[in-house]
Amino acid sequence: MYKKKPLFIVFEGIEGCGKSYQSYKLFQKLKRLKIDVIHTREPGGTNSAELIRKLILKDYFNKKSKDKFDKYTDTLLYLAARNEHVINKIKPALQKKKIVICDRFYDSTIAYQVYGKKVNLNFIKNIHRYILGKLRPNITFLLKVSAKSSRRRLLKRKTFNRYDNLGQSFYNRAQNAFLKIAKNKRNYFIFDSSKDDNILEKKIFHQVKRYLKIK
């Protein structure tokens, strides 16, 4: 018997790993069970955070490097969007004992900004201390993907974001960072998402049902 309780689920991974697809599939499955659940994303999730997202994406397509944001300005914009998202969507939903499924959260900041762009880790940790407080995901699904599968999926996309056409070396570095973050942590589940079948979504749903104690 499902007993209503707050649950914060995050999906992480590099571009082309299928996290957006899998997070939405989980959302649909829980909705069908009449469970109070919301699906959201980062950067974004609220009107104000989506405005910041557009600003970040627009900056990427500036032709001249001198016109681009400094990496710390870029990071601060991501964190500003997260602050809006947490205050106005995530925390209120959890307080109402809803399940929140989020496509990316702070592990993406560490993997991309710290390991990828060499932003100082303590810089991010100090800001997170203020904007997150004790908020942490209950479950994080990390989707590991092969370079071949990732590229194939990216080529099928009709629209692209700023990270879709970075070099493979960056993706490799980011994926290794995600794996390092998740290592030996009980609330992290690392799944290989390279194959295009429904086995992965069943594995994810199984873990969530175990947590919620539903059959």
Residue 63 CB: number of other CB atoms within 10 A?
6
Q: What is the mean pLDDT of residues 203-210?
A: 95
Check whether 1 has a pLDDT greater than 60.
Answer: no
Segment 113-138 shows an average pLDDT of 96
Tens digits of per-residue pLDDT, 89-123?
999 999 999 999 999 999 999 999 999 889 999 99
Burial of 26 (0-12, 13-18, 19+ CB in 10 A): buried
Question: Please, what are the domains in the chain?
Answer: 7-212 (3.40.50.300)
Q: How far apart are CA 129 and CA 111, in angstroms?
A: 18
Q: Would you say the C-alpha torsion 68, 73, 79, 83 has a positive or negative sign?
A: negative
Q: pLDDT tens digit string along 163-182?
A: 545 667 788 889 999 999 99
- In sequence order, what are the residues at sequence separation of 6 or more whose Cβ sits closer than 8 angstroms to the Cβ of residue 171? 14, 15, 147, 150
The span from the CA of 158 to the CA of 166, in Å, is: 17
- Residue matched to tokens 């810089």: 123
Comparing CA positions, the residue from 175, 22, 202 lying closest to residue 112 is 175
Q: Which residues of 12-22 are buried (b: 16+ CB within 10 A; e: fewer)?
A: bbbbbbbbebb
d(CA 178, CA 181) in angstroms, rounded, equals 5
pLDDT of residue 204: 97
Tell me which amino acid residue 21 is: Y
Look at residue 170 in the predicted model and tell me its pLDDT.
80
Question: Is 45 in contact with 89 (CB distance < 8 Å)?
Answer: yes
Per-residue pLDDT at 171 = 81
For residue 38, is pLDDT > 60?
Answer: yes
pTM for this structure? 0.91
